[in-house]
Chain A
Amino acid sequence: MELTASGLARRFLRRSGDTGAFEAVRPVNLTLRGGEMTVLTGRSGSGKTTLLTMLAGLLTPSAGTATLDGRDLYSLADADLSRLRARHFAVVPQGASVISSLTVMENILFPAALSHQIPPVQAAEALMERLGIRHLRNADPGELSGGELRRMAVTRALAGQPDFIFADEPTADLDDENTALVLTLLREAAQKGTSVFVVTHERDAAAYADRVLHMDAGSLTAVQQI
């Protein structure tokens, strides 16, 4: 599968101050393909997360299109776009992203339930084992540390073997060992055919990527093919 951004841009209105509208993302042209791991770096506030959320079908762009195999995501009705996201995309958002009433394992398997797919229990167990959170499978997410929650979110994204993974700072809150492990798992997913798009400040991430993009003030300024 191929996801193509053409002139994808996003403008936000600032309610306070006299700066008015600002361009969080200036027109971006980009293609994400299966089997490829793309890493996006850049300073804070450069527009990385905004670009990721637009590519993931979560934020309507001010201009441009994001097309999946020729279908413009943002021309779809919300129910259709949601179904598409559930079936083909997985997102690791920044910060906590848990459903507090579900156990850790239920959180991991919930995307499959949403898209009416068979719960990938074995894959989830194996990933939890590798990420060292298997003992937490029945735990309440409220009892988990920031690092454990992050590893849970990564497991949730990987378990269903989606076509696209959008990971926003997936290694935040993690020690070096777990950072390496998470990046390795994302790399493995790409090798199995998933298109992995990672926004990160992690310098070592480039070593795992097929392509490194750099963003500055809303524009893609550098592309490094590895």
Chain B
Amino acid sequence: MTPRKLPLRNLLRHPGRTTALTVLVAFLALSLFAGSAIVMSLNNGLHSLENRLGADLIVVPATARGKVDPEKIYLQGTTGYYYMSAAKLDEIRGMDGVEQASGQVYLASLRADCCSVPIQVIGFDPETDFTIQPWIGERLKTGLGDLEVVAGSRVNAGINETIRIYGQSCLVVARLAPTGTGLDTAVYCTMDTMATLLQAARDLNHDLKIDGDPAQVVSAVYVKAAPGQADRLATRIKQTRSPKVAVIQTRTVTTDVEQSLGGVAHTIKALIVCIWILALILLTAAFLLLGGERRREFATLRALGMSRGGLAGLALKEALLVSLFGGVIGIGLALLFLIPFSGLTESALNLPFLQPSWQSMMLLAAVTLLAVCAAGPLASMLSARRLRRVDIGTIMREGN
């Protein structure tokens, strides 16, 4: 047994106190890693949302608000369906201050072979679309044909597999990158495919409340306004009739999300700071108590010839090892919690939630481990300093 191996031996031979300290450090690591990962995921979700929402205004039939909160369709992919005549698209397209306008049609499948929950089918016009194609363009090199779909990242179907929607077999030709929202469980198709699916749903007696030709409806019109025209244009669109429409200003939606996200992120950061302060105080107290309890043993080491520096080094090394064990355990537990439960976290927070890449997670793990490995020895510093000052003769005399 060499003095170098003594710190590890001390920890292994006293499992009770080692476990207690390790649990405390693991809690520190877990809070920092999980908290930071959640904040990063929320930020990623918001960035993904901002990148996706290239439109300034989204126009939906006024009746849509009674069925489902349209904002939730855009933010969280909440399934639903509502329709208005495609003539509305032409009307908006002809208005002053409109740079681009494109329609989308939604269909919520009640059940698809691919999914255990209803998925949202989104039809778009490749000729005029400017919100979906920039996003899926990276994954889809050629155009979408009839009954071909692009699947969200969490749709359980691979490329070249088929999924059945209202009895129609649709071929998956590409899969999208995660967005951190319910849109990850949506599939995307052309307007022609959507018309086929709408007709199929109708043939299966599914009441879609569409009057006339299913090929002549839209669920929403995405509008890009000329610079500085968004507010005025929104007012003018709201004033149109047949049908009455609701206008969602995406800037408002993202601002709301940003505010909510900012609040959640601040709360999490404040919690992390509180946990760290509390845990550092507890760790410092624990190391001080342990130092007091082990005074006699430390005095023996000094009597045998260990220097004050060697003794302080021993205490710091023990703290470092505990921090390392605790850090790895805490990060491991955080990963076990974060990866399988990201969907639950998303729905609990009600905000876009997109986990960082594995490289970012590894970097965060390394930073967390470094922080925790600094925190343990820092907390034991006071105890180590006391050990440096300890008068061994006095402790030995305490045996009298």
Cβ of B301 and Cβ of A99 under 8 Å apart?
Answer: yes
Cβ of A101 and Cβ of B309 under 8 Å apart?
Answer: no
Cβ of B303 and Cβ of A58 under 8 Å apart?
Answer: yes
Please, how many angstroms separate the alpha-carbon atoms of A115 and B306 in the complex? 9
Cβ of B397 within 8 Å of any chain A Cβ, yes or no, is yes
Shortest C-beta distance, B203 to chain A (Å), equals 78
Nearest B-chain residue to A96, judged by Cβ? B296
Please give, as numbers and ranges, the residues of chain B lying within 8 Å of A49 by CB-CB distance.
Answer: 396-397, 400
Cβ of B310 and Cβ of A82 under 8 Å apart?
Answer: yes
Contact with A along B377-400 (1 / 0, CB 8 A): 000000000000001111011011
Please give, as numbers and ranges, the residues of chain A lying within 8 Å of B307 by CB-CB distance.
Answer: 78-79, 82-83
Cβ of B399 and Cβ of A113 under 8 Å apart?
Answer: no
Cβ of B9 within 8 Å of any chain A Cβ, yes or no, is yes
Cβ of A222 within 8 Å of any chain B Cβ, yes or no, is no
Cβ of A91 within 8 Å of any chain B Cβ, yes or no, is yes
Q: Which of B1-39 contact A (CB under 8 A)?
A: 1-3, 6, 9-10, 12-14
Cβ of A114 and Cβ of B396 under 8 Å apart?
Answer: no
Please, how many angstroms separate the alpha-carbon atoms of A87 and B302 in the complex? 13
Cβ of B393 and Cβ of A59 under 8 Å apart?
Answer: yes
Please give, as numbers and ranges, the residues of chain B lying within 8 Å of A78 by CB-CB distance.
Answer: 307-309
Cβ of A93 and Cβ of B303 under 8 Å apart?
Answer: yes
Q: In the complex, how many residues of chain B place their beta carbon closer than 8 angstroms to a beta carbon of chain A?
A: 31
Q: Which residues of A contact B (CB under 8 A)?
A: 44-45, 49-50, 53-54, 56, 58-60, 78-79, 82-83, 85-87, 89, 91, 93-102, 106, 109-111, 113-115, 140, 156, 168
Shortest C-beta distance, A134 to chain B (Å), equals 18
Please, how many angstroms separate the alpha-carbon atoms of A83 and B305 in the complex? 6
Please give, as numbers and ranges, the residues of chain B lying within 8 Å of A99 by CB-CB distance.
Answer: 6, 297, 300-301
Cβ of A101 and Cβ of B397 under 8 Å apart?
Answer: no
Please, how many angstroms separate the alpha-carbon atoms of A156 and B1 in the complex? 14
Please give, as numbers and ranges, the residues of chain B lying within 8 Å of A58 by CB-CB distance.
Answer: 302-303, 392-393, 396
Cβ of B304 within 8 Å of any chain A Cβ, yes or no, is yes
Give 8 closest A-B pairs by Cβ, nearest first: A86-B305, A59-B393, A95-B399, A94-B399, A101-B13, A82-B307, A53-B393, A106-B1
Cβ of A59 and Cβ of B399 under 8 Å apart?
Answer: no
Please, how many angstroms separate the alpha-carbon atoms of A59 and B192 in the complex? 94
Q: Which of B275-333 contact A (CB under 8 A)?
A: 296-297, 299-310
Please give, as numbers and ranges, the residues of chain B lying within 8 Å of A156 by CB-CB distance.
Answer: 304
Given contacts A59-B391, A101-B6, contact A94 B396 (CB under 8 A): yes
Given contacts A58-B392, A78-B309, A101-B9, contact A111 B397 (CB under 8 A): no
Please, how many angstroms separate the alpha-carbon atoms of A58 and B299 in the complex? 10
- Which one of A50, A87, A93 lies within 8 Å of B305 (CB-CB)? A87
